């Protein structure tokens, strides 16, 4: 396993989860220089619907035959307003936390997988898509 294998898996996962990358593959995935494929970064903007996007950021490292997400950020944005986000950032206290709303208020949150964040996004979007837009 190297980060390039993970990047290929991630690209397939985006498609399987009905997400359309708005970022080119060459811009979404990067190996950290000098790590021989052992560390890398994912930075992507993904379209879910015409009104909604998910922003994804992961810092990953290969441990044995697995990938560990040292950092992650998954944010749902609807009508250009941040709805929620999940972060794992060792420079913050606590390192694992969430955010709610456009004011980016921090809240307690559990660790989350990318897939769980996307499932929550689709659930929330389904509810929001039926609300009238502010005019």
User: Residue 60 falls within a domain, yes or no?
Assistant: yes
User: Residue 135 falls within a domain, yes or no?
Assistant: no
The residue-averaged pLDDT of 94-104 equals 89
DSSP string of 2-29? -HHHHHHHHHHHHHHTT-EESS-HHHHE
Q: What is the pLDDT of residues 57-88, one digit of tens each?
A: 999 999 999 999 999 999 999 999 999 999 99
Contact between 99 and 84 (Cβ < 8 Å): yes
* H helices present in 17-83, as ranges: 25-28
User: Residue 30 falls within a domain, yes or no?
Assistant: yes
Domain that holds residue 79: 3-110+119-128
Determine the pLDDT at residue 127: 85
3-state secondary structure of 115: helix
Distance CA 84, CA 106 (A): 10
Q: What is the mean pLDDT of the chain?
A: 92
Cis peptide before 110 (omega within 30 of 0): no
Determine the pLDDT at residue 131: 60
The residue-averaged pLDDT of 110-133 equals 87
Is 60 exceeded by the pLDDT of residue 135? no
User: Residue 87 falls within a domain, yes or no?
Assistant: yes
What's the domain count of the chain?
1
User: Residue 84 falls within a domain, yes or no?
Assistant: yes
User: pTM for this structure?
Assistant: 0.90
Ramachandran angles phi, psi of 113, nearest 5°: -85, 160
User: Residue 133 falls within a domain, yes or no?
Assistant: no
User: Residue 42 falls within a domain, yes or no?
Assistant: yes
| pLDDT class of 23 with cuts at 50, 70, 90 | confident
Question: Structure tokens of 57?
Answer: 């950021």
Question: Structure tokens of 100?
Answer: 């709610």
């Amino acid at each position: 396993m190297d980060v390039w294998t993970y990047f290929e898996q991630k690209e397939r996962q985006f498609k399987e989860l009905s997400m359309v990358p708005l970022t080119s593959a060459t811009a979404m995935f990067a190996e950290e220089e000098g790590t021989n494929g052992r560390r890398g970064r994912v930075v992507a903007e993904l379209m879910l619907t015409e009104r909604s996007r998910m922003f994804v950021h992961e810092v990953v490292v290969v441990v044995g035959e697995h990938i560990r997400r040292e950092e992650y950020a998954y944010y749902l944005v609807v009508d250009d307003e941040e709805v929620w986000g999940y972060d794992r950032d060792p420079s913050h206290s606590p390192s694992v936390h969430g955010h709610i709303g456009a004011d980016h208020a921090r809240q307690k949150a559990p660790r989350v997988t990318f897939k769980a964040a996307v499932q929550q996004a689709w659930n929330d979007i389904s509810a929001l898509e039926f609300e009238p837009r502010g005019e």
